[in-house]
Amino acid sequence: MSTSSFSAAHRQASTLYLPPGAWLTVLDCLCDHFSAIGREQWLDRIARGRVLDGEGKPIGVDLAYREGLRIHYFREVPDEKPIPVVESILYADEHLVVADKPHFLPVTPAGEYVEQTLLRRLIRRLDNPHLVPLHRIDRHTAGLVLFSANPQSRSAYQSLFPTRQIEKSYEAIARALPEQVFPLIHKSRMINGEPFFRMQEGPGASNTETAVEVREKHGDLWRYGLYPVTGKKHQLRVHMTSLGASICNDPFYPDVLKDAPDDYANPLKLLAQELRFVDPVTGQARHFKSEITLQW
């Protein structure tokens, strides 16, 4: 495996440094360390070259155990449930890919989703294992996601986000707020909430900021334009809830809908709609807009 191919594979694999123990083989260690995965499954993965050593070479079933040995393995979810939505590619060149992500599709592998993710789908469609997302949006949120397609120019694009050289605008549908004066700026301190996957506002200096405007009124529901200055997890969802207008069909805010199956007919009414920035490689002004529309 070439260095470039290995580095690309490494990004898609998980890494384990073998812990202390008295195992004879790496296989024995993996079976004990990941007790939820049966020995037959590990044997099958090894046979298919899905477990690699530190140099990116497939291991054998008899590879001797050694504490601290670096092992790469590819996560697999048996009988992974298909997600019946289709992404779009709005733009692609040798450096950058812009995708329009539908609701419910995760950006990267996590939990029960591995192959059914935007990243894995794009890697297959474009035959480019070097793709790496430059930012994330929630699984329940639809809209624009930028990907780096070239390791040589990746750092230039990655620097756009922490230095706030990229303008992001979102759209949301939520209940009307006639008691508020718009446009407004909402600032707050966001901290980890309960359960672990939620965020909440807490005391202290603000670390998040969102500008909010009203774009359209439709009875008890309004269409809002949201302009995040910062990019904390669930920031827009928490800020709208704090204002008194949780985004329509939000399964986490204000309350968690436990064990609720994905309702493809009623997605979260939140869309990552537009991105503007100056391309750090070409110097060209870029403006991308989602082709997805939030329906009332």
Average pLDDT of the segment spanning 149-166: 95
> Which pLDDT band holds residue 6 (cuts at 50, 70, 90)?
very low
Give me 253's structure tokens.
């805010």
Burial class (CB in 10 A: 0-12, 13-18, 19+), 20: exposed
Tens digit of pLDDT for each residue in 121-156?
998 899 888 899 999 999 999 999 999 999 999 999
Tens digit of pLDDT for each residue in 277-290?
999 999 999 999 99
The residue assigned the tokens 């539908």 is 102
Residue 224: CB atoms within 10 Å:
25
- Which domains can be identified in the chain, with CATH numbers? 3-73 (3.10.290.10), 88-289 (3.30.2350.10)
Tens digit of pLDDT for each residue in 183-242?
999 999 999 999 989 999 999 999 999 999 999 999 999 999 999 999 999 999 999 999
Burial class (CB in 10 A: 0-12, 13-18, 19+), 59: buried
Q: What is the CA radius of gyration of the chain?
A: 22
Alpha-helical regions (H) of 127-267: 154-158, 235-243
Whether the per-residue pLDDT at 247 is higher than 60: the answer is: yes
Question: 3-state secondary structure string, 88-122?
Answer: EEEEECCCEEEEEECCCCCCCCECCECCCCHHHHH
